[in-house]
Structure 1
Amino acid sequence: MSQLASMMILTSGAAHAVVNAILKSGKDKMSSRALIDGSSAILVLPALFFLPPPHGAWGWLAASFAIHLVYLICLIKAFEGADMSAAYPIMRGSAPVLASLFAVVVLGERLSASAAAGVGLVSAGTLLIASGHRTNKRMLLWALATGASIAAYTVVDAAGVRASPSAPSYIAWVFLSLGFGIGAIFAIWRGPAFLLAARAEWKAGLAAGALSVVTYGLALWAYRLDDVPRLAALRETSILFGLLIAVLVLKERAPVLRIAGALTIALGAAILLLTP
């Protein structure tokens, strides 16, 4: 189960980087996020006819909704103020340590010495990537707030997917609440601008929405199978994929510090993969 969860979380990380690259490339990021989440909800809607309701997890779903709303606002603000190669490592790099602490306190999970070392290396590597880029204090605060909210929803959703009768049931309801709830809020917030963005970017939004189901669906299922601290840190290998996309697709620079950070993340990920 541990190796299966690890493979699921690595696939999740790769897909997550692509989703964020699509969001970053959009001109109206709040409208883009509404398109992504709305598409995800439409895609999972038919599953309601085949899955049981997530009895026992409604409270966790409500908490997840509130935290995701904060997370997405912070994410949008961070991406509006900085390159993906700067903001993405900060927000994702600060999350594993916080998620590990939350998981130990809230879920009562243990953190072995090797897992703690892997978590530390992944976080250090991601922050090393970001340190080579000049960032303003406002963007830094938005990115750190994003990281804190990532840690919070990771632990809440891990508890929720374990409390639900089945993993697919909770996963489906997470995407339904985010898409028809937060997606609708963002669309109304942007008003006519959302309609213009939807007309121009609906294909990208649909593709990113489908990938969102893959990335977070796999992550939630993995959290049901294995320890959250190890998996939450391992998921941050998405930063490696994000850095490659930022350089090769978005044409951003990759200084030596970012390369060194990527190698540090790879070392941390290797330790986590070998941790039983």
Structure 2
Amino acid sequence: MELHIFLAVLVAALLHASWNLLVKLDLDRFLALLLISCVMGLMGVAMLAFFPWPKAESYPYLLASGLLHTGYNIFLARSYRTGDLSQVYPIARGTAPLLTFIGAWGLAGETVTGLGALGILLLVSGIWLTARPGAKTIRLDGLTLFFALGTSAFIAAYTLVDGFGARLSGSASAYAGMLFVLDGLFMVIAALVTRGPRAFAQVLPSWKSGVTGALLSAGAYWIVIWAMSLAPVAAVAALRETSILFVMLMSAYFLKEKVTGFRLLGATLIVLGAVALRLA
């Protein structure tokens, strides 16, 4: 992976970690995701005013990705309802790179070097070690695990769709803008069906936090879409999950959370995995 792409994906991971650390919405998880998706949709409209529209060949990918992102939001909201953040987030994010790697190889024939495959496996192993709870009292029921792993499947699916769709679009930025619009539109429909019009009245008081979260989230995924149009999808998907390492470091520094030996080992594997992907 070329250095400028490698560094850009690390910036995307940092933006994603910052969003998870800094944005504290006084809403349930579904409404928080609705607010962020709506703001990102407006950002997408603005982006399409500056970039040429994506080529027609990418439209099926955009439609599929918009639906997959909505499924991801619904599954993530459900998993957070009964699961602990420190477990659900790493499970969802940590399983996705491996699924993406299998999908990119099996469905599209995308090849990854031996060193690149090693880097992906190191990253996934490190993420799961980092997610290991420090207290035996923390439990994850079967239904919550189902939705967390389902979230991971959605992440892998939309990553593959966006990786190949962006390459057909002619402009990764235009593809990202259109995707943000569709994501916002589908989330509005999902909110109307499941919560009714009152959902929008509930999110308005938190619009400032929503704008912050949308800027960080949109910036992170915009970079990722651009990177996947130039580099192997599986490698980018794995490298962006270094966000979990950033979350751990920020939590230890700002929130004074305890860093266990397993988390230090996991962090080391994540760093080694990132180095392997850079050298691949």
TM-score by length of 2: 0.89
Partner of 2:214: 209
Partner of 1:195: 201
CA distance in 1, matches of 2:33, 2:256: 22
253-262 or 160-169, which deviates more: 253-262
Partner of 1:68: 69
Whether the 8 Å contact between 1:15 and 1:211 is mirrored in structure 2 is yes
Cα offset for 1:90?
A: 1.0
Partner of 1:219: 224
Partner of 2:60: 59
Q: For the structure 1 residues 79 and 246, does the alpha-carbon distance in structure 2 shift closer, same or farther, using more than 3 Å as the test? A: farther
Q: For structure 1, which runs of at least 5 residues remain unmatched after alignment?
A: none
Task: String of CA shifts for 1:35-65, please: whole Å, max 9, x gaps.
Answer: 1111111123123233333221111011111
Whether the 8 Å contact between 2:44 and 2:179 is mirrored in structure 1 is no
2:110 partner SS: coil
Whether the 8 Å contact between 2:25 and 2:209 is mirrored in structure 1 is no
2:51 partner SS: coil
TM-score by length of 1: 0.91
- Does 2:115 align with 1:114? yes
Whether the 8 Å contact between 1:130 and 1:258 is mirrored in structure 2 is yes
Whether the 8 Å contact between 1:67 and 1:153 is mirrored in structure 2 is yes
CA distance in 2, matches of 1:206, 1:75: 20
20-29 or 215-224, which deviates more: 20-29
Q: For the structure 1 residues 90 and 19, does the alpha-carbon distance in structure 2 shift closer, same or farther, using more than 3 Å as the test? A: same
CA distance in 2, matches of 1:58, 1:146: 24
34-43 or 178-187, which deviates more: 178-187
**Count of aligned positions:** 274
CA distance in 2, matches of 1:234, 1:64: 21
Partner of 1:135: 139
CA distance in 1, matches of 2:12, 2:262: 25
* Superposition RMSD in Å: 2.1
Q: For structure 2, which runs of at least 5 residues remain unmatched after alignment?
A: none
Cα offset for 1:252?
A: 5.4
1:148 to 148, 153, 166: 153
Paired letter, 2:41: A
Q: For the structure 1 residues 104 and 33, does the alpha-carbon distance in structure 2 shift closer, same or farther, using more than 3 Å as the test? A: same
- Does 2:174 align with 1:169? yes
- Does 2:234 align with 1:229? yes
CA distance in 2, matches of 1:27, 1:69: 18
CA distance in 1, matches of 2:258, 2:79: 18
Whether the 8 Å contact between 2:43 and 2:180 is mirrored in structure 1 is no
